[in-house]
């Protein structure tokens, strides 16, 4: 999946916004909090659950994301070799993890049925 396609998938999630930070990094946020980063080199980093973090890192698919590993972020240096549906699923899960940490008002603003 190309960086542009990953960005489109991430931005299709409810309330997702894009900002360019740290030079050329495409930072995807929800409620002002980051859930994915598409680096200038095409690498993809995102928030993962504890189980997904462990499985992806121990399985050798991903590595702990620089500066964010303690918050359970992973990095794929070359996501183009991954299945597009897997990337879409991981981005959706990262989005859900961050949404879960938002305030009730922020969650309700994203979707009146979420709380």
pLDDT of residue 102: 87
Is residue 76 within 8 A of residue 91, CB to CB? The reply is: no
Look at residue 114 and tell me whether its pLDDT is greater than 50. Answer: no
- Residue 29's nearest CA partner among 95, 103, 112, 102 is 95
Characterize 54-78 residue by residue with b for buried, 16 or more Cβ atoms within 10 angstroms of its Cβ, and e for exposed. Answer: eebbeeeebebbeebeeebbbbbee
Residues 6+ apart with CB under 8 A from 91: 6, 9, 10, 13, 28, 35, 36, 46
pLDDT digits (tens, 9 = 90+) for 93-109: 999 999 998 888 888 88
Q: CA-based angle 42:13:57, to the nearest 5? A: 50
In this prediction the pTM is 0.88
Structure tokens at 111: 């979707």
CA distance 98 to 112: 17
> pLDDT at position 51, please?
94
- Tokens representing 26 are 């495409």
């Amino acid at each position: 999946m190309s960086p542009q396609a990953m960005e489109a998938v991430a931005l299709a999630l409810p309330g997702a916004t894009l900002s360019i930070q740290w030079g050329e990094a495409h930072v995807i946020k929800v409620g002002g909090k980051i859930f994915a980063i598409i680096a200038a080199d095409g690498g993809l980093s995102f928030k993962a659950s504890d189980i997904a973090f462990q499985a992806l890192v121990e399985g050798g698919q991903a590595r702990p994301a620089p500066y964010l590993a303690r918050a359970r972020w992973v990095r794929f240096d070359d996501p183009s070799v991954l299945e597009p549906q897997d990337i879409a699923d991981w981005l959706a899960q990262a989005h859900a993890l961050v949404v879960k940490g938002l305030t009730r008002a922020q969650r309700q603003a994203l979707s009146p049925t979420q709380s």
